[in-house]
Chains A and B, each alone.
Chain A
């Protein structure tokens, strides 16, 4: 069996594909040029192969988001890399007030094919300004959609769908996940299998075959996959609690309605995410699920997130703030009693 592709390689392959497929596609970002090829090597080989389509930019996150929006306004497709998602705060105005609003504020639909890629999340010891998960800060913006990279979804398809939508989007890419392998052929490991559902968010469903209806359904963005699967395993083997994991490709807008048949198979639902506590994606989902599933749920949705804290640097401190597999395991055991 051939070596499975790593997530960063899959993203790199997707960007090569996009630039080759459309000469009017541009990739813009800091330190993208070869031989460096980007801080996380996701853009490796692009500037050598497509010198006219790759712009290795000055340190100007707001500026390059605006340039990407200008290219999109003129009918191109732009992919803007923000080196660490924390710095997307510097690009908030061009995204919120220009790119997203332009889709509708001129009274007719203005196509804006633009993706801002954001290497995100912690567990790598980069400290408070390089480790945060900012997804929650981009929720609820008209015409701005959010996706997160997962090991289940091929990024050619993800990025193509985002650009075909003709609305700006933000793609969150967990920095630990970069180094992990893509899953394929419906296999996660010896215990778990997966399938990708046909709901609008293209949710991946991870399950243990022949276990019947699950006790719990865990909903998590792609960056949590490894920690969530580890929790599924320990809960099954050590506690005899069966869980399924749902990992959507698209985080927002999120169509909970389409997932209700899957979600209503369990009496208990847990949402888990890396964003700082309060006002989060998981809370939004929990609120919607309470409205639609209240009578069927054995207990309120269990919402797990990072603590109400900055993300500290030292490994033991960072481990305490961000949800780990043990956090998920313990919380679910406690909530099952």
Chain B
């Protein structure tokens, strides 16, 4: 006897559908590059997953059909700049699937979030390509030319929004022009927020991690701004810039690498939020989400062990 609820494959598909709104917002501001990156990410995820599952002597179709590899590919593709060269996403997905997932035994056995592992790998290895974002909408042809490096397009690119804001803040510049650009990121974040609420409503994710994560960010941002409001990002930017909402609802909530107990999920989400703000404010990288999540992934067994609920009749 089994419930009529969603099965694992349907869950993965629902998560992908919930991404549509945020991705559409990204498309509106950055153009076709976004879509091309996602296609590249999804296709390379299928290729690497199939190859490795076949190497491990498992049934390829079972593994591909669960949709988890495609989801990893898409999440990574969304996280990287829309004008990054094609091989960036391919290399990142390869690393995510092979080292982040298959070497641990495939779906369900990976201690780290594969997409974030791929992202961290790319950020450390190719910092320039990973922090250069388009400043304008790119047509299909432009995007193809940039991504497949048919010609150089220096005029179209700029630094990552958060990086930009941070640099200008430390230089003491006015925020006016930058605020216009950051509205793009705010819209994208709003898109992912709505998608996240959809996942909550469908009971595909629980509220614990997103709520704890966002409160972690908020509390830490408030604390930091209390001491030094000039040198750091405004509080609302912490929430609506960078990958905050994507991470809150789609990445930190990856059940496989997250804590599994209700109390544990609150601790896990909250600490990621704190770390994200700490890395953004004091670290050398523009955004700290990937590192914060990977660091907390390591603590999951410990958190789970100490947050076991009391069994019935044992309290």
Do A and B truly interact?
A: no
Chain B interface (Cβ within 8 Å of chain A)? none
Chain A interface (Cβ within 8 Å of chain B)? none
